[in-house]
Amino acid sequence: MRKQARLVRGVAALLLLAAALSLLSACSLSDLAAGGQSGADAVLGSGTRVLRILSGSENAELEPILEEYARDAGVRIEMTYQGSLDIMRALGQEDLAYDAVWPASSLWLNVGDTGHRVKHAESISITPVVFGIRKSLAESLGFVGREVSVQDLLDAIRAGSLRFCMTSATQSNSGASAYIGFLYALLGNPDVITEEDLQSETLKTQVRELFSGVDRSSGSSDWLKDMFLAGDYDAMVNYECLIIQANEELTARGEEPLYVVYPYDGLSIADSPLGYVDAGDEAKEELFLDLQAYLLSEETQSAIQRTGRRSSYTGVREENRDVFPEAWGLQPDRVLSPIRMPAADVLFACLNLYQTELRKPSLSVYCLDYSGSMSGEGNEQLVSAMEQILVQENAAANFLQASQDEVNILIPFNGEVIATYSAVGNGQELEDLYRVVRGQEVGGGTDMYAAAAEGLRLLQGYDLTQYTPALILLTDGQSGGSFSEFAQAYAELGQEVPVFSIMFGNADEEQLQELAQYTNARVFDGREDLTAAFRSVKGYN
C-alpha cells in the first residue's frame, strides 16, 4: 500500500510540474517579472498578459471601469500613480518600465517625451481646474450665479474673505495648471506668456498676494480632496470631477457642499491623454490599442462621464446631467475655452519662479532618526536623501529649491532630542544644515514623540499664517516615548500642522499612521527609495 501511495504521489507531482511548465511557457519573461510583486499601486485583473500604466492619481477613480475590461479581456493592468511632473521626468529617463503613460494633461507629454517614444496618445476625458468654495461663502462673496474672474478671487483674498487649499504647482498638474491660469489672467490674457512677462514686479506682487490665501498644500490632487474632507477648510482648487466627488461625500454626511467657480479668464483643462510607450513589442501595442478603444467607446465614455469627467468641450450627455447639479454651481452646458499653455522653456521658467519667489514660503521641521539601528546603510540613505533637499543645486532638478523666506529646522534624535538647528533662506545657512546632517553621529534608542513635540514647541515662535508649515518625521524603528507628550504639545500650538512621516526599515506603521490621522497628514513609504519619499513629502509643503 505504501508503495502504491508513493506512486500516486509521484504521478501527481509530475502533473503539477507539467502544469507549472505550461504556465511558464504561456507567460513572457517580462510579465513574470511583474507578478504580484510588481510594486504597482493597483493590480486589476489576473490575466497572463500585462499592461503597466504610469498614471496620474486622479485616474484611481476609474479603476472599476478598468477592472471590468481586464476581467473580460483576460488582462492584468498594473497601475502606478505619480504626479504629472514625475511622469514628465520619467519620460526623460532612458529606461522606462511602463507600457503606457496617462498624465492629467498633454502638456507633460509634450515637454517630457523628448525621445518621441509615446505613440497613439488620445484624450480619454477632460475636466477643468476650478475653485470649489463653501456655498454660503460663495454667496457672501457674490460669486453665485455670475461669471467670476481671477481678479475677483484675488480681491476676495486681499480682503481676507477667501482662503483655499491647492496642490503644489511644481508637483501636481492641478496646481501647475491653476497657476498658469492665474498668470495668464493677471497678464491680461496675452497670446502667449513670455519670459519677459515673468519679470513684471506687478505680476509677482499679485501672484504672491493670491498665494497668500493658501491654507494647505498637497502634492496630489486626489489626496487634496481627502485632506479637505478630513479637515475644516473653506475652499480648494482642484479638478471639477474631484469637487463633484467631494460634494457627494459632503452631502451624504449632511454637510454644506462646495460651489464651483470657473475662473473664466484663466481656465485650464486637464485632457487626460493615454499614450503607448513604444518598445517595439507589437503584441503589447495591440493590447494597448484594444484598451484605448474600449475607453473611447460610446458606452465607456458615458460611464467615465458618470465619474464627473467630461467627454467634450461643449457639454455633457443628457443621461449624465444629474452628475453635474447646477445647484452646486456646475455648468453642464458650458463651452470650455482653455488657456494656451506656454512653450517648454517658459513653462520651466514659470515653475522655477513659483518655487523660488511666488509661493507661500515653507516652514519645514525635519525630525531625523539617528538611533543605533540607523548605523551604516540607513544613515547613508538618510544623508543622501537630505542632500537632494538641502543642497540647492540638487533640489532645483526636481523644483524643490527653497525660497529666500523659507525656514528649515533640523531636529536629530535618538532616544532623546540631540540638538536643534535652523536655516532661513536658500543660501549658506542651508548648506550648513546639510553639513550637520552629514556629520551627526549615530547611536542610542528611538523616541520620535519627543522630537516631534520639540518641533511643535519651536513652531510657537513663528506666525504660521505666513508659511506653509509641516513637520517631517523619519524613523526606522518602533518608538519609545509617549504619544500623549506629542498630543499635549500639539494642543498647546493650537494650530493645524501636518505631521508627515516617512517609514523606513522596521518602523511601526501603526504609530506613524496615528500621527498622520491626528494631524490630517499621511505616511510615505521610504523603504524602497528614501530619496523619492523625501522628494514626495516635500511637495506637500
**All structural domains of the chain:** 2-125+271-319 (3.40.190.10), 127-268+324-349 (3.40.190.10), 361-539 (3.40.50.410)
384, 533 Cβ separation under 8 angstroms: no
360, 406 Cβ separation under 8 angstroms: no
d(CA 492, CA 457): 8
pLDDT tens, residue by residue, 134-184? 999 999 999 999 999 999 999 999 999 999 999 999 989 999 999 999 999
- Among 264, 263, 309, smallest CA distance to 133 is for 263
- Among 489, 476, 443, 472, smallest CA distance to 538 is for 472
Question: Which bin fits 189, alpha (ψ -120 to 50), beta or left (φ > 0)?
Answer: left
Q: Which amino acid is at 283?
A: A
pLDDT tens, residue by residue, 440-493? 999 999 999 999 999 999 999 999 999 999 999 998 878 888 999 999 999 999
Residue 83: its pLDDT value, please? 81
CA atoms within 13 A on the CB side of 513: 4
d(CA 516, CA 501): 7
Compute the mean pLDDT over every residue in the chain, rounded to the nearest whole number.
90
Q: Are strands 100-102 and 273-277 parallel, antiparallel or unpaired?
A: antiparallel
Contacts of residue 6, Cβ cutoff 8 Å, sequence gap at least 6: none
40 phi and psi angles, rounded to 5 deg: -70, 155
**Is residue 82's pLDDT more than 90?**
no
Q: DSSP character for 98?
A: -
d(CA 486, CA 475): 16
Residues 86, 90, 96, 98, CA torsion sign? positive
pLDDT tens, residue by residue, 339-398? 889 999 999 999 999 999 999 999 999 999 999 999 998 899 899 989 999 999 999 988
Residue 507: its pLDDT value, please? 85
d(CA 108, CA 99): 17
Q: Which has more pLDDT, 245 or 4?
A: 245
Residues 387, 389, 392, 396, CA torsion sign? positive
- The answer to which of 36-45, 326-335, 426-435, 529-538 has the lowest mean pLDDT is 36-45
**Is residue 30's pLDDT more than 70?**
no
pLDDT tens, residue by residue, 312-355? 999 999 999 999 999 999 999 999 988 889 999 999 999 999 99
Q: Which has more pLDDT, 541 or 440?
A: 440
60 phi and psi angles, rounded to 5 deg: -60, -30
pTM of the model: 0.88
Query: How far is CA 278 from its chain centroid?
Result: 26
